[in-house]
Structure 1
Amino acid sequence: MKTVILILFSLFIICACNNNKKFDENKEAAAPILKSQADTANYTEIQWVDSIIDFGTMRTEDSMHFKFRFKNTGSKPLFISEAQSSCGCTVTNYPKDPIMPGKTSFISATFNSNFSIGPVFKTITVMANTKNNNQHVLLLHGEIVSKENR
């Protein structure tokens, strides 16, 4: 229940930092991934090993790296077409090649705490060719304290 509340709460959080993230605009490279998402016969299943990460406490001006692990539990190749963070203070990276059935991979995220002190909830929205729901929300949460605190 606590997890559900955290996810719902994070969806209503307005990001306090600027989103200056640049997106890949190479449409030719993205075409096979987008085509695979439109073809529902090639949908597969994903199992998230890590979908919520509580990083505890970190100081302002620090950064942390995280890995959200997942497994392709379906029978078709898994294509991740996008992993977009809720604001520019979290930068994501995702596999561009297909993840074959039974294989594992991860979405990486780097969070920079260069903003206000207090609780923080950041989401990463992942788009994939998955059955029932092709949009998955990952959550990073914790607390930012002054860099003078140790």
Structure 2
Amino acid sequence: MKRVFYLASVAALIGFSACNQAEKNPEEPAISTDVINIPSDEDNEEAAKQLAAFEFENIVYEFGEITQGEKVQTTFKFTNSGESDLIISDAKGSCGCTVPIYPKNPIAPGETGEIEVVFDSEGKMGQQNKTVTLIANTKPNTTVLALKGNVLTPETK
């Protein structure tokens, strides 16, 4: 009984320590959260107007019908229509098949940027609705982009 308890404790300790280790890419620049100041609801409206803001040409990309295994690539273009530098701190796809590439440097007011997204349909079939969630110094601080379409299974001979 002691042996089982000891092994379970060691396994739990290893599992918890592995969960706390975040993977870091040394090539990616670290963005300090000190530069992000999002006013709370109690702050005045003037402070909220000074935030960065996304203005996308489109937030939904409809790729139509593709055959299973094809990759779809699109670019979401945006302008920082706010009054301060726009900093995107993270961009995550709804699954591993949807991979976003986003600018790591601040986007000045009036400047443009692009979010490139690649959807890999390998192993997918039917109607697909995939999303990319951006986290930035905007209000609200999350923006969701979408890819929609239909994946057809290849015909077998």
In structure 1, what residue type is equivalent to 2:142? Q
SS at match of 1:30: coil
**Are 1:117 and 2:116 matched, yes or no?**
no
- Structure 2 vs 1, CA of residues 24 and 48 (structure 1 numbering), >3 Å: closer, same or farther? farther
How do 1:53-132 residues align onto structure 2 when only pairs under 5 Å count?
53-130=61-138, 132=139
* Residue of structure 2 aligned with 1:140, choices 119, 142, 147: 147
- Separation in 2, partners of 1:51, 1:89: 18
Offset at residue 68 of structure 1 (A): 1.1
Which residue matches 2:35? 36
Offset at residue 104 of structure 1 (A): 0.9
Offset at residue 115 of structure 1 (A): 1.7
* Contact residue 79 and residue 128 of structure 1 kept, 8 A: yes
How many residues align? The count is 125
- Separation in 2, partners of 1:36, 1:26: 21
- Structure 2 vs 1, CA of residues 116 and 44 (structure 1 numbering), >3 Å: closer, same or farther? closer
- Structure 2 vs 1, CA of residues 82 and 55 (structure 1 numbering), >3 Å: closer, same or farther? same
TM-score with structure 1 setting the length? 0.74
* Contact residue 30 and residue 81 of structure 1 kept, 8 A: no
Offset at residue 35 of structure 1 (A): 2.4
* Contact residue 31 and residue 89 of structure 2 kept, 8 A: no
Structure 2 unmatched runs, 5+ = 1-21, 40-46
SS at match of 1:35: helix
In structure 2, what residue type is equivalent to 1:112? D
Instruction: Quote the RMSD (CA, aligned, Å).
Output: 2.3
Offset at residue 81 of structure 1 (A): 0.7
In structure 2, what residue type is equivalent to 1:135? T
Q: Deviations over 1:123-148 (max 9, x none)?
A: 10001111x30100111010000233
* Contact residue 128 and residue 134 of structure 1 kept, 8 A: yes
**Which has the bigger relative contact order, CA under 8 A and spacing at least 6?**
1
TM-score with structure 2 setting the length? 0.71
Offset at residue 64 of structure 1 (A): 1.3
